[in-house]
């Protein structure tokens, strides 16, 4: 960065100004504005300091807050009489680079977890309930396992768990000592040549039992599932997210910043607009959205006729709005619902339209989001310990 320097001995140096600017944290990206590359330069003219600042968008709603922070941090120098800001807007290329820096910073500060560093982590989210997100999760997991892979499934919908029933699993999770410390052992199911490793609060309580936990308790439970589970050598970890954009979602973004998001919606405009909020949360958390799945795209009756019960176009519109590909449009048919009730995902042996679409989705994910090698992943960061109260709470359920 370039700067003009006044002859006044009281004026701050360029280094002093940039040192002050490094204490200004972008309120949305949570990284200082210098490290993000938002400050191309400063100009010092006697007691006046002009700071050039490039915002990610011209109408940034946090502009006033950033301005106040800059003026407070730079203006405290005894030789500064006035702090001016020359605003600019980033190009798409600069904006992409800034988001990359923010994502790397999140990864570097991420706590250590028990999730293998070489596995791909895909969170399946929707923003609202009732769109078939869990059905998509278990069918995708089963389809990947059928290819000979080891796939973890984390049911992060603590209140509304449904993964155990959808996979036909009911045995209680047990704990055992692994590497000198107690660990939760995930329940396992063989699918073809592969294996599913499944963790859910549904394996800790009766299916009809309501878990009346507040947000902090939910977050700590999910953290324990990430940190205190003896996950195997996973190729993928699929996370069935709860509806909304609250504590659990933010906690997962902090614990596993390498997570990639798959957004599920229905053709209905109302569902599409709510799902857009899930995508916005991913953007604000620096989590890439790998694609959109439109579920219940049409009802297919026994005669093979298709009816658009929930309208049409919601998936394509969401795809356009967030700039992520529409990976699949899954029809609604009796076989799909029956597979969920019986605990046998249709992706394995189903022969209907929904099974065909789901198998195509599995193939596309396997090709485009392939498991990474361990040496390709930077897992630097500090370790995290969970509160003893969380373990006690889970033991007491």
The conformation of residue 112, written as its DSSP 8-state character, comes to: B
DSSP string, 180-210: TEEEEEPEEEEETTEEEEEE-GGGTS-TT--
| Calpha distance 253→13 (Å, rounded) | 39
What tokens appear for 192 in the block?
């073809």
| Cα distances (Å, whole numbers) of residue 281 to 18, 122, 177, 178 | 31, 15, 37, 35
What tokens appear for 262 in the block?
């798959």
Q: In this predicted model, what pLDDT tens digit does every residue of 291-343 receive, in sequence order?
A: 999 999 988 777 778 888 888 888 999 999 988 999 999 998 888 888 989 99
Check pLDDT > 70 for residue 388.
no
Check pLDDT > 80 for residue 84.
yes
Q: What was the pLDDT predicted at 372? A: 64
Give the count of beta carbons closer than 10 Å to the beta carbon of residue 327.
Answer: 20
Give the count of beta carbons closer than 10 Å to the beta carbon of residue 109.
Answer: 14
Check pLDDT > 60 for residue 8.
no
CA atoms within 13 A on the CB side of 209: 10
| Calpha distance 172→204 (Å, rounded) | 6
Q: What is the largest CA-CA distance in the chain?
A: 87
Q: What was the pLDDT predicted at 7? A: 47
Q: Kindly state the average pLDDT of the residues 50-79.
A: 90
Contact predicate 361/202, CB 8 Å: no
- Closest listed residue to residue 73, CA positions, set 127, 115, 17: 17
Q: What was the pLDDT predicted at 384? A: 29
Q: pLDDT-derived band of residue 109, with 50, 70 and 90 as boundaries? A: low
Query: Please, where are the H alpha helices in the chain?
Result: 14-21, 63-75, 92-108, 133-145, 163-166, 215-227, 247-255, 269-284, 314-322, 334-342, 346-349, 353-368, 388-395
| Cα distances (Å, whole numbers) of residue 330 to 10, 67, 286, 297 | 68, 47, 28, 6
Check pLDDT > 70 for residue 163.
yes
Q: Which residues contact 225 (CB under 8 A, 6 or more apart)?
A: 154, 156, 184, 199
Domains in the chain (CATH in brackets) are: 14-108 (3.30.300.130), 120-388 (3.40.50.300)
- Closest listed residue to residue 264, CA positions, set 132, 357, 76, 77: 132
| Calpha distance 315→297 (Å, rounded) | 8
């Amino acid at each position: 960065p370039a700067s003009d320097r006044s002859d006044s001995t009281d004026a701050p140096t360029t280094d002093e100004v940039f040192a002050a600017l490094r204490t200004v944290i972008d309120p949305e990206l949570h990284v200082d504005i210098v490290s993000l590359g938002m400050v191309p330069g400063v100009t010092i003219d006697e007691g006046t300091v002009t700071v050039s600042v490039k915002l990610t968008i011209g109408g940034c709603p946090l502009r006033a807050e950033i301005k106040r922070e800059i003026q407070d941090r730079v203006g405290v120098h005894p030789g500064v009489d006035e702090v001016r800001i020359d605003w600019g807007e980033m190009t798409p290329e600069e904006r992409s680079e800034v988001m990359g820096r923010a994502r790397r910073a999140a990864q570097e500060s991420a706590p250590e977890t028990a999730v293998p560093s070489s596995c791909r982590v895909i969170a399946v989210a929707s923003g609202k309930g009732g769109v078939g997100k869990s059905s998509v999760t278990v069918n995708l997991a089963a389809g990947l396992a059928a290819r000979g892979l080891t796939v973890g499934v984390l049911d992060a919908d603590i209140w509304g768990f449904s993964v155990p029933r959808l996979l036909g699993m009911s045995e209680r999770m047990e704990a055992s000592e692994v590497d000198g410390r107690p660990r939760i052992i995930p329940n396992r199911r063989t699918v073809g040549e592969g294996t599913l490793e499944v963790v859910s609060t549904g394996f800790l309580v009766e299916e009809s039992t309501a878990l009346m936990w507040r947000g902090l308790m939910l977050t700590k439970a999910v953290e324990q599932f990430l940190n205190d589970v003896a996950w195997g050598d996973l190729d993928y970890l699929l996370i069935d997210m709860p509806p909304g954009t609250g504590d659990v979602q933010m906690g997962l973004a902090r614990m596993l910043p390498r997570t990639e998001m798959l957004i599920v919606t229905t053709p209905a405009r109302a569902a599409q607009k709510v799902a857009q909020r899930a995508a916005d949360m991913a953007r604000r958390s620096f989590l890439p959205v790998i694609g959109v799945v439109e579920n219940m795209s049409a009802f297919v009756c026994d005669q093979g006729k298709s009816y658009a019960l929930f309208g049409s176009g919601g998936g394509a519109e969401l795809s356009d709005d967030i700039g992520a590909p529409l990976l699949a449009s899954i029809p609604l048919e009796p076989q799909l619902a029956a597979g969920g009730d019986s605990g046998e995902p249709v992706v394995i042996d189903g022969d209907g339209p929904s099974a065909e679409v789901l198998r195509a989705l599995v193939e596309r994910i396997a090709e485009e989001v392939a498991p990474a090698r361990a040496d390709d992943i930077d897992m630097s960061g500090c370790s995290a310990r969970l509160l003893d109260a969380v373990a006690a709470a889970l033991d007491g359920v």
